[in-house]
Amino acid sequence: MEKLSARAAQDTRQDWRDFGYYYAIDDTAKEWHLHGSASGLLNFAHSLEAYAANPASAGPSEHEHLGPHMYLVLTTWPTAKLDGHGVFGQAGDLLRLASVVRGYLASASAGQVLRICQEFTPSAEYTLCLHVHQDGFDPASLDPQLAG
């Protein structure tokens, strides 16, 4: 992984903080890992809701890249799916996932890992793992490009 310039590292660090959570993919385990405080992880639900509410997102294959590194993608698709590219589905599917995320986070406490797979769609290829950290968690602290 290429090290970022000082300016790019500063901008990326702030972007993660503004975003509210850090994410990474584990293709071997077929898992998306999202790390943040409960309030930070709620930003993922908000992104799903905002995407679903945007009329420009309604067309087939419309998509939005999330986060500073932009490799987690929300995509409009005929059927719900979760794979190595991201989250796919119609507006109703994405709203349902947002509701599941909100419901899980409502009773979550720091240290828990909330796993979402079949709750979203029985055909999910990947699992969404929400790692709940304590309030004040800095999502930028997990980005390997910012280490050192």
Question: Regarding the domain delimited by 6-146, which CATH topology (the fold level of the hierarchy) does it fall under?
Answer: Gyrase A; domain 2 (3.30.1360)
Question: What is the reported pLDDT for 6?
Answer: 80
DSSP labels, 107-134: T--TT-EEEESTTT-TT-SSEEEEEEE-
The predicted-structure confidence for 134-148, as pLDDT tens digits, reads as follows 999 999 999 998 875
| Domain residue limits, the chain | 6-146
Q: By percentage, how much of the chain surpasses pLDDT 90?
A: 86
Closest CA to 131 of 45, 28, 33, 39: 33
Confidence bin at 75 (pLDDT 50/70/90): very high
- Residue 36: pLDDT above 70? yes
Question: Rounded to whole angstroms, how far apart are CA atoms 148 and 130?
Answer: 26
Q: By percentage, how much of the chain surpasses pLDDT 70?
A: 98
